[in-house]
Amino acid sequence: MSRSATATIHLDALRANLARVRMLAEGAKVMAVVKADAYGHGLERCARALAGADAFGVASIADGLRLRAAGHRQRIVVLSGPDAASDLAEMRRLQLEAVVHHESQLAMLEAEQGGDPLKVWLNLDTGMHRLGFPPGRAHAMRARLAALPAVDKAIVLMTHFASSDEFDNDFTARQTECFRNATQDIPGERALSNSAGLLGWPQARENWVRIGGLLYGLSVATGKTGADFGFAPAMTLTTRLVAVNHIARGERVGYGATWECPEDMRIGVAAIGYGDGYPRSAPSGTPVRVGDAPVAVIGRVSMDLLTLDLRQAPNARVGDEVVLWGPQLPVEVIAQHANTISYELTCGVTRRVLFAEDGG
């Protein structure tokens, strides 16, 4: 059986989402975060659509290399910085910028004998407790970096919000206050807000916003979709029906025989499964669309196939399109059923899925 699962990437949606981010950012520079292969949407194609961003944020030097090879000349920031001293030469060669968040990275820079000035972002840990220097060391760390001839003096100060998607939680306000108290006498641009920070915490926009999920039309708030905030989904995941079977009342469907037919009914089989990135944790009742009809998953998701209740799609036939998520069926809804987040679903689409583009 040939695989028919296709992820269509809507380039116009990416461009429109970037334009909306700029409107909300009210003059702040925009870093388009394209790590994890642009949240599963494809690094090069998304960078092409997001070429109007002021910078790209990546997780690795390898991603920076791919962007430079594709001809992008924007600023590119490696969000976790160098892992080894040898990374510094490659970052300079590619004109990448480094986030410095740990004493070991500072020691690498201090051990250098020379080199063109490297642009650096100094990360302060105001409450995430993942990466970053304690706020009380901000002045000392910034001074040590500024004293190095191989570091550009225009050091950007940044932090990362832990709970900015909880708009009624004051922890983000406390992080913002902590950051400002620690950096009030330090020169340089500031970068605080992620996607949720842009939406819920306008007082924290500063000079830069670092935007990931919203660019792909993905929600950053529980119970909301990207469309609820005016953003368009950038991926539609589809496949085809490969079988329509008539199953008798009382018969069971799928591995483990977990779903029993309540009546004589038609069951659809779609050519997609967890081998393609559709979540195995999606339970019976998870919504799917066959053509224009809303249907539901029944039984367990298997590696290659998905079984569907076709009672609401009486005209469904083999070969009909099946939509797993997209503009008419938000990926956030699927994620909620599967007890995960939309980011994991789009990032999890596997290489056996065919990728297509629309929107030029």
Q: Which residues does the annotation mark as catalytic? A: 35, 255
Q: Is the dihedral of CA 51, 53, 55, 57 positive or negative?
A: negative
Query: For residue 44, with 0-12 CB atoms within 10 Å meaning exposed, 13-18 middle and 19 or more buried, which class applies?
Result: middle
CB under 8 Å to 98, separation ≥6 — which residues? 77, 78, 81, 82, 88, 91, 105, 118, 119, 120, 121
Reported for 261-268, long-range contacts at CB under 8 A and 24+ positions apart, including other chains, are: 265/309, 265/310, 265/311, 266/310, 266/311, 266/314, 266/316, 267/298, 267/307, 267/308, 267/309, 267/310, 268/241, 268/243, 268/244, 268/295, 268/307, 268/308, 268/309, 268/310, 268/313, 268/316, 268/322
Phi and psi, residue 307, nearest 5°: -100, 140
CA distances from 252 to 174, 284, 320, 358 (A): 53, 13, 24, 40
Give how far the C-alpha of residue 176 lies from the chain's centroid of Cα atoms, to the nearest Å: 23
Phi and psi, residue 316, nearest 5°: -60, 140
Residue type, 301: V
For the residues of 122-143, what is the DSSP string, one character each? EEB-SS--SSSB-GGGHHHHHH
